[in-house]
Chain A
Amino acid sequence: MCLGIPGRIVAITDADKMLAMVDVSGVRRSVDVVCVAEPGEPLEALIGVWVLVHVGFAMSRIDEAEAAATLKVLAEIGELDGEMDAIRTGSVEALPSLPVSQAN
């Protein structure tokens, strides 16, 4: 929850709502990019950029080497699996097939 996890922005999903699709170690989810967007720059400029993602919010732009080093530390201190699990199982937005959405 407190340690960010590196991911790469692969698409802008909703420019009006400042949402982008981020690939985190092969798992994709929708992420808020308000905190890494450059004022006056089109959001598309973020595609391909590595970011540190905290609970669904991109909080800092990082480079690829920093992303790799951070993933390594997270794996070594045993936090990576838990964080990936949380993204996989706790992402309501990114998983439209969850039973809750079928009810609507």
Chain B
Amino acid sequence: MRFVDEFRDPALAAGLVREIGVLAARLERGREHPVAVMEVCGGHTHAIFRYGLEGLLPDIIEFVHGPGCPVCVLPMGRVDDCVAIAERPEVIFATFGDAMRVPGSRKSLLQAKADGADVRMVYSPLDALELARRNPDRHVVFFGLGFETTMPSTALTVLRAAREAVTNFSLFCNHITIIPTLRALLEQPDFGIDGFIGPGHVSMVIGTAPYRFIAEEFGRPLVVAGFEPIDLLQSLLMVLRQMALGEARIENQYARVVPEAGNPAALAAVAQVYEPRATFEWRGLGSIAGSGVRLREAYAAFDAEKRFSVPDVKVADPDACRCGEVLTGAVKPWACPVFGTGCTPEMPLGALMVSSEGACAAYYQYGGMRGAA
């Protein structure tokens, strides 16, 4: 067990692995399928691979890598919209670095920049607002991307822009919310997931109450987890304990960072600025009702979609890619015909290969080919 030695508390880690083994043996009796636990968050996916957690666990336990990487689920058509906005001469297009390499049907933002569009990588939406202040003759568009973790940052930036009456700043809002997405997954007829490891930093914002339906309506446990390997092992154990007892509850393993009620100031800003869209398209998953947000009418002046007529064309994923099936846990990345050949982190075809938090990039980087032979 060479990986356990580098954990914060190797003895505790070894104890957790032992307990998981005992429970797994108990759960294995009479089961035909593996115990499938979905980690929703891409950061967790990355940590599971980096620390080789799957290798420490009994074969019956299977991590399924969920849709919680906002860069990975961004549809090609939205990247095309970004490029179209960025190519306007009056626009400075500001974005998180993560979004630069996501392939569009014509080009990525990185390629648009190389072709002369004014695309700037910024650390924070606050930096985009500062660019607007410093460039009064240009219009700065910030590419708002991410789940509830980054949503408060763009909402608070729009509120700041409104307070200061900045007129040359807008947001191209592509934020998505996790709850409708989990519901859509759970409503799939053959959804074979037994329990969830809940996202840490999304939960820091929304708290734990929004997950209750997962236990109450769908009978699955969910445990909100931290990012250390010990956190992930402990959370997995908590999920398995519930399963062994025939229970389904929402638990919080990451209480040192995640308050049960979330962050009230962040939630208030999000509620003030955003409203749900009827539907939003996800790469690989198709349209999911209520899963996206847009700016409320009161903030229309800061809405890039209202200011510029974005093409908003739906573009199908490349035929060869099986991103959708990987995202829902139906197949492993190595089952995709272009994995590691036509699609690599250097030249990604599908978005799951772009971000280090995407399941395909993680498999590629850490050689996760278990079962490929």
**B125 interfacial by beta-carbon distance below 8 Å:** yes
Q: Which residue of A lies closest to B199 (CB)?
A: A2
Listed stretches B263-271, B287-295, B327-335; interface member: B263-271
Contact A54 B257 (CB under 8 A): no
Contact A54 B150 (CB under 8 A): yes
**B272 interfacial by beta-carbon distance below 8 Å:** no
Contact A3 B127 (CB under 8 A): no
List chain A residues, Cβ under 8 A from B51: 76
Q: Which residue of A lies closest to B256 (CB)?
A: A66
Contact for A34 among B71, B256, B265, B357, CB less than 8 A: B265
- Binary contact readout A52-77 vs B (1 if CB under 8 angstroms, 0 otherwise): 10111101101100100110110011
Given contacts A2-B147, A104-B134, contact A54 B97 (CB under 8 A): no
- CB neighbors of B among A75-104 (8 A): 76-79, 82, 86-87, 89-93, 100-101, 103-104
**A35 interfacial by beta-carbon distance below 8 Å:** yes
Q: How far is the CA of A35 from the CA of B98 in the complex (A)?
A: 24
List chain A residues, Cβ under 8 A from B275: none
Q: Which residue of B lies closest to A88 (CB)?
A: B123
Contact for A54 among B131, B201, B265, B357, CB less than 8 A: B201
A/B interface sample: 20 pairs, CB < 8 A: A1-B98, A4-B201, A17-B160, A32-B126, A35-B156, A52-B257, A56-B124, A56-B126, A59-B152, A59-B205, A72-B8, A73-B228, A87-B123, A89-B121, A90-B123, A90-B127, A92-B128, A103-B135, A104-B134, A104-B135
A interface vs B, CB < 8 Å? 1-4, 17, 29-30, 32, 34-35, 37, 52, 54-57, 59-60, 62-63, 66, 69-70, 72-73, 76-79, 82, 86-87, 89-93, 100-101, 103-104
